Chains A and B, each alone.
Chain A
């Protein structure tokens, strides 16, 4: 096979796998930004927090990092619920303090990142999962398990989330609160409680995505910055509140970014994210799959 074609195919495949991972990161944001309209720019910082905690726990216990991520999810959920309570008390209730709300999450992001640097240092952390050395070969195409397993776990988690949102009472309440919180109140459901739950889920996914990420590549305290552009671009491209759109956008994005990196070098990745973001905002702000307001 022509080596450039092989490079391209491999780029596409690993792009898809990376995309699965990005989808988990973006799914959480799809809930907080897309459904709850909370601009949590600290989301990637919490991913990094999850990644580093998983790395440290793996170092201490040797348990499978993805298992650790799943076990860690409830803690992140609680963190998210607590963060939302604070945000709601100081900002959402007031309603008119838009820039202060944004600055709040910026400050939180800062505290998490700098806190991590102070706590674990600026070096990169990495985990070696049991299957990390294995790579399946399909002809000319390499499918490293190091990327496949996290992607599968991530997509499974998103699938579970989608089922939850569609079929459970609480899940449907979350979708409803995104559309009309007053109607929700008329049904004697406390919209604040629902939003708290949802924001917790959002952060739980951030932690999960972080844990999956550290299996794929090394992570350091500042890694979140590159992810900000990625996850927001994906969520916006996917149409904000549509999980399906999010996954498709993430896969497409992963492919574009990875193929670009294969041919032009990895240092241009942030430019890809930013370029996609600007393009979408300029041409079709409701995303590729969203509906016009």
Chain B
């Protein structure tokens, strides 16, 4: 199937004696909006880190655009078109907002890193007005937008958004969602890892659920959320 952009096959990861992930199989098609949910400690962040290359998965493999990701370092995966944001925004504190975006523009291998390109990137996340400010002058939601700007500057085919809604107000969540929908319309496949249920159910075409390192459900949101196993995982019934 040539329109499968990401395939995870039997992915597993252990930390010493603790198994964080086990036997994860997942397929994501081009242009899809996938939500990844699960209780705390279920392995969502570990999965993201393995996919992005920050950790090495002991078992299984990832295939991205029909090519294996094994052995590629995070910066190589980024250049291939696999971008991620961080749960807690990690801006480059010594650089201005515009320079923050120039970094992925310069190193992502997709076109020139001019000031114009940086400003265009910032405009797409509504941060153009703060281009020459330092990250310490930005609000929480603006930092989240900067994270997204840095990720989209790579012109990724696949974007992993890691808990971008945590701690945001209702309108702020809507702002970020609108951004992500726009991105998806432009052709970017998005995996959203979230706790904020409203956001992830509104956004996702498909929902996958991780519990204790295993995938227990994978399908349309309404179906998945109605499953007794999922209810039990979240509500402990």
The answer to A–B direct touch (Cβ < 8 A) is yes
Residues of A within 8 A of B (CB): 96, 291-292
A interface footprint on B1-28 (CB within 8 Å = 1, 0 otherwise): 0000000000000001000000000000
Alpha-carbon gap, A292 to B55, bound state (A): 12
Closest to A292 in B: B16
Residues of B within 8 A of A96 (CB): 93
* Majority secondary structure of chain A interface residues (helix, strand, loop or mixed): loop
The answer to whether A291 touches B93, judged by C-beta atoms less than 8 angstroms apart, is no
List A contacts of B93 (CB < 8 A). 96
- In Å, the complex CA distance between A17 and B223 comes to 70
Q: How many A-B residue pairs have CB under 8 A?
A: 3
3 A-B pairs (CB sep. < 8 Å):
A96-B93, A291-B16, A292-B16
Q: Give the residues in chain A near B16, CB-CB below 8 Å.
A: 291-292
Minimum CB distance partner of B14 in chain A:
A292
Which of chain B's residues has its CB closest to A96's CB? Answer: B93
Among residues of A, the one whose C-beta sits closest to the C-beta of B16 is: A291
Which B residues are in CB contact (< 8 Å) with A292?
Answer: 16
Give Cα distance in the complex from A49 to B50, angstroms.
48
Contact with A along B48-86 (1 / 0, CB 8 A): 000000000000000000000000000000000000000
Per the bound structure, the CA–CA distance linking A291 and B93 in Å amounts to 32
Alpha-carbon distance between A96 and B93 when the two chains are bound, in angstroms: 9
B143 nearest CB across to chain A (Å) = 15
In the complex, what's the smallest C-beta–C-beta distance from A112 to chain B, in angstroms? 32
List B contacts of A291 (CB < 8 A). Answer: 16
Interface residues of B in 85-99 (CB under 8 A from A): 93
In Å, the complex CA distance between A292 and B93 comes to 30
- The complex places the Cα of A150 from the Cα of B16 at a distance, in Å, of 38
How many angstroms from the CA of A198 to the CA of B16 in the assembled complex? Answer: 27
CB A96 to nearest CB in B, in angstroms, measures 7
Interface residues of B in 180-220 (CB under 8 A from A): none
Cα A291 to Cα B18 in complex, Å, equals 13
Q: Which 3 A-B pairs have the closest CB atoms?
A: A291-B16, A96-B93, A292-B16
Closest B residue to A291 using CB positions: B16
Quote the shortest CB–CB distance from A292 to chain B (angstroms): 7
Q: Within the complex, what minimum Cβ distance (angstroms) separates B49 from chain A?
A: 13
Q: How far is the CB of B40 from chain A (nearest CB, A)?
A: 15
